[in-house]
């Protein structure tokens, strides 16, 4: 049902987005250290989050994953030529990701339902998770930072940082390095 809803609105999705949607996402992204070489943007939709990542992380390989194929088609069509070699879009269910354990150094979410077990599984030791909500508590898909922090702490994450930027909020957390 969710996939069908997003497939249906894919052609108009970009016109629905507000100009400052990615301000909190970008604020948290600026704090990511060290800069990752492999990034997963979950719920990428038409790819704008992946494009923000590509601009801010010029050395990184970026995978934009979404459940809705029509959203991904839009993302592929919108991909600037300069990103073609390092940004790709794949259909994936965030509740059961098709990626190996520890595949990514950074996993990002912009206005996306978090699937904490899968996020923890696919982030490499020392990697980070970024969660951003463009309109704070009024974002249609919103999870309070306290809940995100609690869920991630249960999975061993540390080094939490919260950001307020524009109308929104973001949270960044690190998965500990292997002992």
Residue 143 and residue 122: Cα distance in Å, rounded? Answer: 20
Q: Beta-carbon neighbour count of residue 33 at 10 Å?
A: 9
pLDDT value at residue 179 = 59
pLDDT value at residue 173 = 97
One DSSP character per residue, 127-143 reads: EEEEEEETTGGGSSS--
Token couple for 92: 């994936």
pLDDT value at residue 5 = 52
Q: Which residues contact 8 (CB under 8 A, 6 or more apart)?
A: 70
User: Hey, which bits of 34-150 come out as E strands?
Assistant: 38-42, 61-66, 87-91, 104-110, 123-133
pLDDT value at residue 178 = 73
Q: Sketch out the chain's domains with CATH numbers.
A: 2-10+20-174 (3.40.50.150)
pLDDT value at residue 141 = 85
Our CA angle for 51, 72, 60, nearest 5°, is: 35
What confidence tens digit (pLDDT) does each residue in 108-126 have?
A: 999 888 999 999 999 999 9
Token couple for 109: 């979410």
Backbone angles phi, psi at 115, to 5 degrees: -110, 90
pLDDT value at residue 159 = 94
pLDDT value at residue 119 = 97
Residues in the chain with pLDDT values less than 50: 3, 6-18
- Whether residue 70 contacts residue 89, with contact meaning beta carbons closer than 8 Å, is answered with no
Report pTM.
Answer: 0.87
């Amino acid at each position: 049902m969710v996939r069908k809803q997003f497939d249906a609105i894919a052609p108009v999705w970009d016109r629905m987005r507000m100009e400052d949607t990615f301000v909190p996402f970008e604020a948290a992204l600026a704090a990511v250290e060290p800069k990752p070489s492999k990034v997963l943007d979950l719920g990428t939709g038409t790819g704008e989050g992946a494009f923000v990542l590509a601009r801010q992380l010029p050395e990184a390989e970026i995978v934009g994953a979404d459940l809705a194929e029509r959203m991904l088609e839009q993302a592929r069509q919108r991909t600037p030529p300069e990103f073609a070699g390092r940004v790709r879009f794949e259909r994936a269910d965030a509740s059961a990701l098709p990626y190996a354990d520890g595949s990514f150094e950074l996993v990002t979410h912009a206005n996306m339902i978090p699937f904490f077990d899968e996020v923890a599984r696919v982030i490499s030791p020392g990697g980070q998770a970024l969660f951003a909500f463009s309109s704070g508590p009024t974002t249609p898909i919103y999870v309070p930072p306290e809940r995100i922090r609690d869920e991630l702490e249960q999975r061993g994450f540390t080094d939490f940082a919260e950001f307020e930027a524009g109308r929104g909020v973001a949270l960044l957390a690190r998965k500990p390095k292997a002992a």
